[in-house]
Amino acid sequence: MTYSIFCPYFQFMTHSVTKTAIQNLAVQNGAALCGICRIDDELRQDFHFEIRKISEKMTHAISIGVALSKSVMDTLVDRPNMLYKAHYRQVNATLDDIALAVSKEIESAGHRALPLPASMVLKRRPMIAHLSHREIAYRAGLGWRGRNNLLVSKKYGSMVRLVTVLTDFETDPDEISKDDCGECRACLKACPAGAIFEDEERFNLEACSAQVHKFARENNYGLLICGLCLKVCRGKK
């Protein structure tokens, strides 16, 4: 005769999680890049008030990147198009799915994890989000700050979309990239708003924002997109 023994303890048993396991999970679900950085007070002070309090329990940020299709980007001429709009949405949805999968894995190991949307504009003018995915990605070693005010990765250039997961899972952070744009000036010529300059600190966010709003009105996209500086940014091969 056999007996079935119920023990509530086993319902709440957790497994361990590692940095490598998190990165592998992200890649298995479609990520091209994944890195981790520590959250310090300087970074936290720029978080939107909706997440600032809960972020006090978080020590690290996981940055995940999905590469855009080069063929889709090559269809852009002087403005965004419907194909890019659909692709943009698809990639953002993929990023959100990856962030959720990573968060669930971390939580199943007994840690906290907060996935932030890949593309959620809380305020349009000025454009405000929960946090800067680009800044998290830069600190997590995924690339450097480009002249176009976007992340530039060595392999994909700026043709990568980003998402962030905040967590209290303790692990070693990745090193910040020491690369830069060097002699490349492709994005300066490509920008229809003239918002990009030699000195990255001079980037004109207001002009960039006005241009994407203009594209949204003229073409009825319903999205604040452009993509022209992304198309020409190919990183360092």
Query: In this structure, how many other beta carbons lie within 10 angstroms of the beta carbon of residue 142?
Result: 28
Q: Which two tokens stand for residue 100?
A: 């959720």
> Considering the domain boundaries, does residue 2 fall inside one?
no
Domain contains 1: no
- pLDDT digits over 13-37, tens only? 467 899 999 999 999 999 999 999 9
Domains held by the chain: number: 1
Close Cβ partners of 128 (under 8 Å, ≥ 6 residues apart): 48, 121, 122
**Does residue 53 fall inside a structural domain?**
yes
Is residue 106 within 8 Å of residue 169, measured between CB atoms? yes
Q: Are 204 and 191 in contact (CB under 8 A)?
A: no
Residue 4 lies in a domain: no
Mean pLDDT throughout 85-91? 97
Rg (CA), the chain: 20
48 to 44, 121, 212, 224: CA distances (angstroms): 9, 11, 22, 20
User: Could you tell me the two tokens for 41?
Assistant: 């007070």
pLDDT(123) > 80: no
- Quick check: is 123 in a domain? yes
Position 128 confidence tier, pLDDT thresholds 50, 70, 90: confident
In this prediction, what percent of the chain has a pLDDT beyond 90? 83
Asked, for residue 3, whether it belongs to a domain, the answer is no
Give pLDDT tens digits for 157-191: 999 999 999 999 999 999 999 999 999 999 999 99
Question: What is the separation, in whole angstroms, between the first and last Cα of the chain?
Answer: 67
Owning domain of residue 40:
17-170+181-232
**pLDDT over 90 at 83, yes or no:** yes
Whose CA is closest to 142, among 34, 228, 220? 34
- Does residue 112 surpass a pLDDT of 50? yes
In a domain, 149, yes or no: yes
**Cα–Cα distance, 86 to 84 (Å, whole number):** 5
7 lies in some domain: no
For CA atoms 137, 45, 148, 178, the dihedral sign is negative
